[in-house]
Amino acid sequence: MDKEFAVNSDGLHQAVELMSRDFSNAQGFALPMELPLVGMGSTAALNSLAPSILGGAARLGEATSFAHMDPPTPWITWAMTLWNASLNQNLLHPATAPVARQMEQRVVAWLAPFFGMNGGHMTPGSTVANLTALWSARECAGVTEVIASEGAHLSIAKAAHILGLKYLSVPIDANGSMDSAQLPADLSKSALVLTAGATSTGAIDPLDLAGRAAWTHVDAAWAGPLRLSKYAHLLAGIESADSVAVSAHKWLFQPKESALILFRDTEKAHAAVSFGGAYLATPNVGVLGSHGATATALLATLLAWGHEGVAQRIEHCMDLARCLRDFVANDERLEIYAEPQTGMVVWRPKDDRLFDQVLQLLPVGSTSTTSIAGGRWIRNVAANPSADIDLLIATIQKAIAAC
């Protein structure tokens, strides 16, 4: 047997050991400009790449990391990712991945009821989940257009484009939510997309609109996991949707690429987006062909933490956002865009001249920026349960004081 395909305990231990080293000041590996003719060997490749890969990435779990929807991931998911890579199962073929397929079905069965859905499948992200949902909407409900708010994620317009559907953008109100007064009266040929946790602001569209159109899709990529927490009521109405997208690689702390597309009537929706083929034992459901056992990492996390453990971490993130919100609201030099709804705080210095200066003084990975209705804002996202919010606030205070 070619040893490269066998378990190399020393090599894998070395890989784990390298993870705890500090490469922050290390020189990155000078990559050859051309494909090397002769390989350097796996151990040498591991050691050469460690400073670049491990030292060259933002640390999403560090104290001031509070900028993006990308969370740190729990170690159990690293172990599952390792197993997945070694087994390389393809969920397209039940014969080669019998258990992994069942695990995906079980994870979906665990989570779908929180959203009032009865099933679905995993996708590599909500971009693909949204595309799958709108594809089902076109097939099942004969929709000819997609309606979403100005705050909707660009993947909605992208999906409409791919599917040849018209796209209508509805203005947002002062909180960043869809202004329902501006919706067209006739939604009988429309897929209405409501966002739960807008990417720029965290705003939730009025979910009581679910059920008013030929098809309602809720894009809960970011805020969906709140359904597992004491904040579930914020997404009340979601259970009347026809489909729901949730990114597990956001607020369920999963490694990329992990998300769910859930349907109220899964049998019908899946039938509409399934294709059979000569070499396939079961129909191929959805957008993907070959795909891996992403579900095992999510399943392992849910087993390890339980419903409670997931809820606690999300609720803790909500608390962190609340602390930052209170700080911004009580500092007269700062203004807040709107009351945070889903763990995102959007704010800025009142004096526009300070915007760039403040931003420059804040550590990389602590804040991001967004533009809403032509105005620039600083954006913080509570995806990191290990964030030290007092430290972050002190850092912001220092930055403002230095301007």
Ligand X SMILES: *Cc1c(COP(=O)(O)O)cnc(C)c1O
**Residue 120 contacts ligand X per CB under 6 A:** no
* Ramachandran angles phi, psi of 288, nearest 5°: -80, 155
* End-to-end alpha carbon distance in the chain: 64
**Residue 259 contacts ligand X per CB under 6 A:** yes
Nearer to ligand X, 51 or 121 (CB): 121
**Residue 155 contacts ligand X per CB under 6 A:** yes
- Which of 73, 195, 243, 384 is in the footprint of ligand X by CB under 6 A? 195
The torsion defined by the Cα of 149, 150, 153 and 155, in degrees rounded to 10, comes to 90
Judging by DSSP bridges, how do beta strands 243-247 and 284-285 pair with one another? unpaired
Report the C-alpha gap between 179 and 85 in whole angstroms: 45
Tokens 């609109």 locate to 209
**Residue 131 contacts ligand X per CB under 6 A:** no
Report the C-alpha gap between 222 and 246 in whole angstroms: 7
Nearer to ligand X, 192 or 396 (CB): 192
> Residues 130, 177: contact at Cβ < 8 Å?
no
**Residue 125 contacts ligand X per CB under 6 A:** yes
- Which of 229, 247, 296, 366 is in the footprint of ligand X by CB under 6 A? 247
Task: Choose the stretch contacting ligand X; rule: CB under 6 A; options: 132-140, 196-204, 270-278, 323-331.
Answer: 196-204
- Which of 104, 219, 239, 242 is in the footprint of ligand X by CB under 6 A? 219
Report the C-alpha gap between 291 and 257 in whole angstroms: 11
Task: Choose the stretch contacting ligand X; rule: CB under 6 A; options: 135-143, 183-191, 218-226, 383-391.
Answer: 218-226
**Residue 69 contacts ligand X per CB under 6 A:** yes
- For ligand X, the binding residues in 296-355 under the rule CB under 6 A are none
> Residues 219, 156: contact at Cβ < 8 Å?
yes
Question: Which of 369, 371, 365, 357 has the alpha carbon at shortest distance from 392?
Answer: 365
Min dist. Cβ of residue 226 to ligand X (A): 13
Min dist. Cβ of residue 123 to ligand X (A): 8
Task: Choose the stretch contacting ligand X; rule: CB under 6 A; options: 121-129, 138-146, 235-243, 377-385.
Answer: 121-129
**Residue 153 contacts ligand X per CB under 6 A:** yes
Tokens 């509570």 locate to 382
**Residue 121 contacts ligand X per CB under 6 A:** no
Task: Choose the stretch contacting ligand X; rule: CB under 6 A; options: 14-22, 216-224, 228-236, 261-269.
Answer: 216-224
**Residue 235 contacts ligand X per CB under 6 A:** no
Q: Which residue is nearest to ligand X (CB)?
A: 125
Min dist. Cβ of residue 332 to ligand X (A): 31
Min dist. Cβ of residue 10 to ligand X (A): 36
Judging by DSSP bridges, how do beta strands 375-381 and 119-123 pair with one another? unpaired
Task: Choose the stretch contacting ligand X; rule: CB under 6 A; options: 95-103, 219-227, 292-300, 304-312.
Answer: 219-227
Min dist. Cβ of residue 18 to ligand X (A): 28
**Residue 149 contacts ligand X per CB under 6 A:** no
**Residue 132 contacts ligand X per CB under 6 A:** no
**Residue 383 contacts ligand X per CB under 6 A:** no
> Residues 61, 90: contact at Cβ < 8 Å?
no
Task: Choose the stretch contacting ligand X; rule: CB under 6 A; options: 172-180, 191-199, 287-295, 301-309.
Answer: 191-199
* Residue ranges that bind ligand X, judged by CB under 6 A: 69, 125-127, 153, 155, 195, 197-199, 219, 221-222, 247, 259
